[in-house]
Amino acid sequence: MSFSRLQTFAGYFNKVGDRLGAAVADYNSAVGSLKRSVIPAARRMESSRLAPARSTLALSS
């Protein structure tokens, strides 16, 4: 196997690792936003009767 083929493979594998890392970071940001902003806002709406009852929203703590 030539060195250039190994370099090409390593480059692709490096990109996969970088993109997986970015995907994990974006997922964690989305979950953080859900917990920090979306769920509390839904609970406030629920308590002010602007939203359906909790059983229909299926929000978890």
Hey, where are the domains in the chain? 20-55
- Block residue for tokens 């059983």: 55
The pLDDT score that the predictor gives to residue 58 is 60
Which pLDDT value is given to residue 50? 63
Whole-number pLDDT of residue 35: 96
pLDDT, tens digit only, all 61 positions of the chain: 789 999 999 999 999 999 999 999 999 999 999 999 999 998 888 888 765 666 555 655 5
pTM over 0.85: no
